[in-house]
Structure 1
Amino acid sequence: MPITLTSLYEIVLKEGSRLPERWHYELEEVEKILFQSNFAKLEKSNSQNISENGSIFECYCNHQQRQTIFITCSVEGMTLDFNEQSLLRKHNEFAAKLHIELVKAFPAYNVQRVPAIKRGSGIFQYTVFGDGTIKELDLEKIVFDAKSEFQRVTVAETKSNGKLLLLDWVEHLSDKDDNYTSVLCGLKRGLSYRGKTILILGCGNGAVLHQLKKLNPRMITMIEKDEMVLTACRTHMRSCCGDSLDQYDSENHKVIVGYCLEYLHKYANEGRQFDYVINNITEVPIETPLYAQTNGKESMTSRSKWQHIQEVFSQCLKVIAVDGQILSHIASDGNHKGIEQFEHCMKELGGKINVEVFNTYVSSFGEIWKFCCIRKCNSSTKD
């Protein structure tokens, strides 16, 4: 498939500038610029497509250069979607020239261009940061890609972070994310695992298990629902998991393929307790309110995620020892509203707990990530 490059332009009236009386005729200025570059309006677009709110939609093509521009024009401003099958250098040259021409034509407007987005390159290169904004990856080769019962599991080689594990095309860990594991486990804070019992929820990449096995714990129990993740990482990401996933059972560790919540309920009913519970299965939604409202209706996706978070932590509190700790990731530092709602969820758990929050930069995420340590209030503050 040929690579398609897309540049987006936004033309918005400058603050304090007066709206032109014939605002929709600003489209004529763009048309002049495009005609000079051998673009022609599509026939179906000759009778302007006008929506109920007065917005105008038009399409222009330069067939010889395989270029297309879609325009949306409204009283608030104008957006251009410039698509081209071309080399990146050639595309950027024309896109920059078009940007200059638009700036000249609209002195009362701010004209901004989003850098080129690449499509059809064979390896999809886009995901999102923790706040939901677009992020471009640097994947060079896919070494494993399959869909399990639960999710799409992918391992890719990258230019800057070695091999990278993606679950449903969201980064989870790379060869160079030791910081993530160290902060999640409290290793940089000097937590001691010697002679301790540990419950790991998720972390199917094996990195946490591999690190903690070196610290002489009494017993590590790890629960991961997706065996495909375990298999993919055991085969392709041994720099993270070492040989720790080669065997699921030894004298000081046990890997269980199953649902974490089911085992949390089971252990709570049995009265079983752990010195540490390490949680990596909760996902803080990128949404503003708790149980976000959409068109006046509650978002069930958001609601189920927050309910899941509360249920996981509620059960974790039942299985940690009096002086035990729950160690967990939270979310991207940029997901401000999600973090606020996470704090609200912690307060809603009932019972008194102490929550400490820690930050670290995660290389493959390209951003700062938040983690926490949770203790019961009647526990000692000593590590």
Structure 2
Amino acid sequence: MALRHYTLDFNLSSPADCPSTVRGLQSIFQEQEMTETVHDTEGHGYLATFIGKNGRFLVFRVHSHGLVTLDLQCCEGDDIAQVENLLNALENKLSSILHGNIRRVKRLPALTRGAAVDRYWPTADGRLVEYDIDRVLYDEDSAYQNIKILHSQQFGNILILNGDVNLADSDLPYTQAIMGGGKENYAGKEVLILGGGDGGILAEAVKLKPKMITMVEISFHIAATHMKKTCGSVLDNLNGDCYQVLVEDCVPVLKKYVEEGKTFDYVINDLTAVPISTAPEEDSTWEFLRLILDLSIKVLRPTGKYFTQGNCVNLTEALTLYEEQLGRLSCPVYFSKEVVCVPSYMELWVFYTIWKK
């Protein structure tokens, strides 16, 4: 069974008087028949826990530096109206007791912990976002990663890979940005898509009348079933009038194209975002990214362009490190970047266009 976690904070202009603050709330806790346990904080204010017969658990703390906090946990099936009444009573009483000393009162919506449907996912820069997810459509581990398809009332079906929001039905701006932002002429061109398992890039690219699109992806069948609004019917078959899908690892394919001298007008890398750090656990990702970059530039025609996502606009250090990698390729390149708001990411995202000097 899930828990609902409520928080109520009072930021004060000066430290609160602990004895009077505690005495003022005693009647409310007594009415709720909550058993109190006071904890030793070694001089750092007042800390008590309260347990009710219905399983409610409340932590009340008066911090010595001028902050009063309440954390209330209750079972998912608890009467929400009663819980709200308790919080209202505590907030009103504390507002009366601390009158004149309050700088800010902050009460957040309940955080649901341990629910069957997980609604909380972090942004790339570490902020926690609560989505309006109402059901899980798919959740399995492949040979490469964990794959989830969740349904959001606002964003439609969302593809989540290893805990990262990848793409939603709402995210056409992402697809348009990684294809050059609508400024490119794909008619009669040869296009290579690396990754793109949600099918969004392929679905949009075929509309632009290219000569041939080659998409190299290790897995796409889940999107073909659950991301129809994104991919349409392009993933129903491995071959179409102007495209082919190779179910393979892209690195051997790229190396083969380099050896054969095969080139493309556009290479679109939808494999992975720029790593967010240079910590040891990220080293392999950076190495993979550099390898894909170098091989992709080698199969790019002299007038061709390479498109890829970067990362969240707030990750300036990681993006700078990526741009430094562009100066270390086998041939010199130019690059430009565009910042786009991707709806389901709930943050601004950087996209790169790279071409040979």
Same topology, TM > 0.5: yes
Structure 2 residue aligned with 1:214, among 185, 207, 231? 207
Aligned: 1:129 with 2:119 = no
Contact 2:199 2:235 in 1 (8 A): yes
1:29/1:72 CA distance change after superposition, 3 Å: closer
Mapping 1:59-138, distance limit 5 Å: 60-70=49-59, 80-85=70-75, 86-88=78-80, 90-102=82-94, 107=101, 111-138=105-132
Taking the TM superposition and a 5 Å limit, the aligned residue runs for 1:118-197 are 118-189=112-183, 191-197=184-190
Secondary structure, counterpart of 1:235 in structure 2: helix
| TM-score of the aligned structures, taking structure 1 as reference length | 0.79
Counterpart secondary structure, 2:345:
coil
CA distance in 2, matches of 1:154, 1:260: 22
2 CA distance for matches of 1:336 and 1:366?
17
CA 1:122/1:59 → structure 2, altered by over 3 Å: closer, same or farther?
A: farther
Amino acid corresponding to residue 228 of structure 2 in structure 1: R
SS at match of 1:5: strand
Q: Is the Cα contact below 8 Å between 2:45 and 2:64 reproduced in 1? A: no
Q: Deviation per CA, 1:44-69, whole angstroms, max 9, x where unpaired?
A: xx55266xxx7689552332343212
Instruction: Give unpaired runs (5+ residues) of structure 2.
Output: none
Work out whether residues 139 and 159 of structure 1, in 8 Å CA contact, stay in contact via their aligned partners in 2.
yes
| 3-state SS, counterpart of residue 150 of structure 1 | coil
Retained in 2: the 8 A contact 1:330–1:339?
yes
1:250-307: per-residue Cα shift (whole Å, max 9, x none)? 4532212222233333322333221111111122344xxx52xxxxxxx312333333
Q: Return the alpha-carbon distance in structure 2 between the equivalents of residues 354 and 66 of structure 1.
A: 62
For these two proteins, the number of residue pairs brought into alignment is: 349
Q: Which amino acid aligns with 1:136?
A: E
1:381 aligns to what? none
1:10 and 1:63 map into 2 onto residues whose CA distance is: 21
- Which residue is 2:4 aligned to? 5
Over 6 Å off, 4+ runs: 54-57
> Partner letter of residue 194 of structure 2?
L
Is the CA contact 2:267–2:300 (under 8 Å) kept in the aligned structure 1?
A: yes
Whole-Å separation in 2 of the counterparts to 1:80 and 1:285: 38
Distance 2:136 2:180 in 1: 32
Distance 1:13 1:305 in 2: 46
What is the identity, as a one-letter code, of the residue corresponding to 1:221? T
**How far is 1:27 from its partner?**
8.4
Normalising by structure 2, report the TM-score: 0.84
Whether 1:48 and 2:55 are equivalent positions in the alignment is no
Greater shift after overlay, 170-179 or 340-349? 340-349
| Kept after mapping to 2: 8 A contact 1:282/1:308 | no
In structure 2, the CA distance between the partners of 1:245 and 1:348, relative to structure 1 (3 Å rule), is: same
**Matches of 1:335 and 1:103, distance apart in 2:** 40
1:28-84 C-alpha deviation (Å, 9 max, x unpaired): 845863663233334xxx55266xxx7689552332343212467766556543212
Stretch moving more, 111-120 or 98-107: 98-107
Please state if 1:244 is matched with 2:234.
Answer: yes
Distance in 1, Cα, partners of 2:167 & 2:260: 33
Q: 1:47 to 1:127 in 2, by over 3 A?
A: closer
* Counterpart secondary structure, 2:349: strand
Query: In structure 2, how many angstroms separate the alpha carbons of the residues matched to 1:34 and 1:261?
Result: 67
RMSD: 3.1
